[in-house]
């Protein structure tokens, strides 16, 4: 593991007050009880000041530009920009600019290492219960197995590009086997890479980017059909989950109406809680986590999320892009655009940040393979993958940088 000394800088020990954010139904969304040693300062005050200053200076800059243009003609545009560059006034900033720095008292983890993987075109990622890594390779088409230290253990040739991968943990269906999605088909491999089972998805429009296992089922998040398909150990379709119930005449009058999944610029992903057995599905177009029972009943009261760039909500057009459930039932989410990884409690309160853009948008130091690599604006839409090693250390895979970042819980997380 490559250890970056600069990653070990401890966060400030003083925990300031966390602003209580209220939902429409006036439910406390931030877990105030977790941050017991608090003061009275609101963490959003810095954002409010910064945002107001930017709006003021941006408006004044625009007024100066317009006035100079009117007075000096077309050439005044260049003059205005020159004057602007010599002043402290700023051009308008993106709406989410004020949220690219995560305040220290929202953060419950610190980064303590990184692994670089020599993969040409990573397409999917999974961490096994014994801390091995599986990474899908698009060129040449294959599945790569790595040790916990990043050593290549095995290359499994595939017939088509992998889009999702999952490994059967003890007690799960396909225990000890590798399940791979190829968008519109699914294959099952033995631990040594021998093909054991294969079947086509029931719809030719299928595009499966998420797989999850329970004790008796394989769940496939199908971004093409905007549904979740549930299969048994023989690849037989048991059930289709997520059909919109709006306008369904067979729906009981008192039943909650599920209006379907919205999939635009981010895929559906999903996870099964090892604690409750409930199925959690990312609904990126609606900025929500939808919760279903194992047999597909939508749990409206347990589903949550809303669109916002603030620390609580999910930002951008399509988030969250990944979801993972820890052994204690807490939900880990990842977002693109304003790239951040957060943990929510089972009661839907935000527990803490794992990392924000100030970490995840920074190229790791001491990785020679990335010395000349530059992150571009287009890379903001990359979808991170999540995993956990050692039962508590969260890992984040970046398909553009081709690195796994390791995040350890801070002391207050271990109490």
pLDDT at 145: 98
Whether 345 shows a pLDDT value over 50: the answer reads yes
DSSP state of 348: S
Tell me the per-residue pLDDT of 352-393, one tens digit each, with 9 for 90 and over: 999 999 999 999 988 999 999 998 888 989 999 999 998 899
Whether 216 shows a pLDDT value over 90: the answer reads yes
pLDDT at 377: 85
R_g over Cα of the chain: 23
Say if CB 227 and CB 240 are below 8 A apart: yes
Bridge partners of 165, per DSSP, are 180
* Two structure tokens written together for 225: 């059909």
Neighbours of 301 (CB within 10 A): 9
d(CA 358, CA 305) in angstroms, rounded, equals 23
Residue in the structure block whose two tokens are 């620390």:
311
d(CA 312, CA 331) in angstroms, rounded, equals 13
In percent, how much of the chain has pLDDT > 90? 64
Residues found in the chain:
415
Most confident of the ranges 29-38, 75-84, 104-113, 251-260: 104-113
For domain 104-414, give the fold.
Neuraminidase (2.120.10)
* Two structure tokens written together for 45: 């005050």
Query: Which residue from 220, 146, 214 is spatially nearest to 181, judged by alpha carbons?
Result: 220
Whether 68 shows a pLDDT value over 60: the answer reads no
Whether 124 shows a pLDDT value over 70: the answer reads yes
Whether 258 shows a pLDDT value over 60: the answer reads yes
In percent, how much of the chain has pLDDT > 70? 72
Most confident of the ranges 79-83, 91-95, 261-265, 410-414: 261-265
Mean pLDDT, the chain, as a whole number? 80
Query: Which residue from 333, 336, 320, 338 is spatially nearest to 102, judged by alpha carbons?
Result: 338
> Looking at residues 12-33, what average pLDDT do you find?
33
> Looking at residues 253-257, what average pLDDT do you find?
61
């Amino acid at each position: 593991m490559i250890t970056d000394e600069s990653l070990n800088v401890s966060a400030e020990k003083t925990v300031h007050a966390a602003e209580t954010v209220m939902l429409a139904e006036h439910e406390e969304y931030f877990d105030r009880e977790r941050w017991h040693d608090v003061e009275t300062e609101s963490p959003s005050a810095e954002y409010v000041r910064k945002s107001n200053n930017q709006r003021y200076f941006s408006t004044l800059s625009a007024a100066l530009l317009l006035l100079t243009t009117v007075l000096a003609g077309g050439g005044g545009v260049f003059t205005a920009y020159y004057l602007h560059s010599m002043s402290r006034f700023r051009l308008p900033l993106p709406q989410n600019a004020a949220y690219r720095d995560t305040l220290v008292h929202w953060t419950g983890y610190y980064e303590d290492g990184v692994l670089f993987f020599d993969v040409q075109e990573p397409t999917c990622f999974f961490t096994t219960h014994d801390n091995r890594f599986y990474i899908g390779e698009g060129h040449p088409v294959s599945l790569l197995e790595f040790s916990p230290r990043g050593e290549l253990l095995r290359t499994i040739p595939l017939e088509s590009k992998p889009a999702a991968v999952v490994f059967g943990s003890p007690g799960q269906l396909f225990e000890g086997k590798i399940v791979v999605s190829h968008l519109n088909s699914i294959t099952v491999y033995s631990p040594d890479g021998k093909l054991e089972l294969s079947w086509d998805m029931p719809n030719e429009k299928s595009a499966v980017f998420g797989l999850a296992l329970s004790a008796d089922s394989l769940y496939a998040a199908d971004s093409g059909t905007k549904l979740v398909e549930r299969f048994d150990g023989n690849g037989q379709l048991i059930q289709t989950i997520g059909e919109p119930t709006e306008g369904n005449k067979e729906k009981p009058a008192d039943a909650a109406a599920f209006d379907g999944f919205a999939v635009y610029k981010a895929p559906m992903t999903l996870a099964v809680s090892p604690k409750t057995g409930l199925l959690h599905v990312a609904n990126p177009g609606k900025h929500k986590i939808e919760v279903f029972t194992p047999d597909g009943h939508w749990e409206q009261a347990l589903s949550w999320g809303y669109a916002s760039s603030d620390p609580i909500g999910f930002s951008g057009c399509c988030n969250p892009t990944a979801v993972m459930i820890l052994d204690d039932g807490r939900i880990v989410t990842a977002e693109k655009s304003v790239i951040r990884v957060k943990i929510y409690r089972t009661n839907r309160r935000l527990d803490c940040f794992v990392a924000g853009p100030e970490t995840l948008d920074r190229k790791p130091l001491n990785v020679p393979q990335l010395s000349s690599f530059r992150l571009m604006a287009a890379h903001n839409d990359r979808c991170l993958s999540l995993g956990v090693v050692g039962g508590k250390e969260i890992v984040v895979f970046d398909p553009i940088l081709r690195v796994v970042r390791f995040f350890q819980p801070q002391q207050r997380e271990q109490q």
